[in-house]
Amino acid sequence: MAGKLILDFFTNPLFLAAASGWLLAQLCKLVIQLVRHAPIDRLLTGGGMPSSHTATTMALALETALVHGTHGFEFPMAFFFMIMVVYDALNVRYITGEQSKVLNHFIKERADKGDEYSR
């Protein structure tokens, strides 16, 4: 019984699409990090592009439309879930960028004053 449930879960096209979207985004990050000669540990932290959250929810919404069509309740649920994740991801990235500008300004100000803690 439990084996059938696990098999059904891991062969579910919606699960496979979402997992594939996440995996593809993570692999893209790996390639980008390798090309930039950057530390690969970035893959284990949040953030960065491409967004694995966005890729996962977009793949889930698309596969939901393909499997269940757009007429039932499944697609609107997946679609609005995707919209919320993408909206939040964009806002977090924007706000983080604004905070980085302010912090960099303060660090530069302190460095200009010769503050030893400006690093």
Report pLDDT digits (tens) over 32-89: 878 877 776 666 666 667 788 899 999 999 999 999 999 999 999 999 999 999 998 8
The shares of helix, strand and coil residues in the chain, as percent rounded to the nearest 5, are 80, 0, 20
Residue type, 44: L
Angle at 87 between CA 89 and CA 11, to 5 degrees: 75
Domain hosting residue 44, numbered range: 2-112
Q: Does residue 117 lie within any of the structural domains?
A: no
Q: Does residue 94 lie within any of the structural domains?
A: yes
**How many structural domains does the chain have?**
1
Q: What share of the chain has pLDDT > 90, as a percent?
A: 36
pLDDT score at 73:
92
Q: How many whole angstroms separate alpha carbon 40 and alpha carbon 74? A: 37
Q: Does residue 14 lie within any of the structural domains?
A: yes
Q: Does residue 65 lie within any of the structural domains?
A: yes
Indicate whether this model's pTM tops 0.85.
Answer: no
pLDDT score at 34:
81
Helices (H), 36-73: 52-68
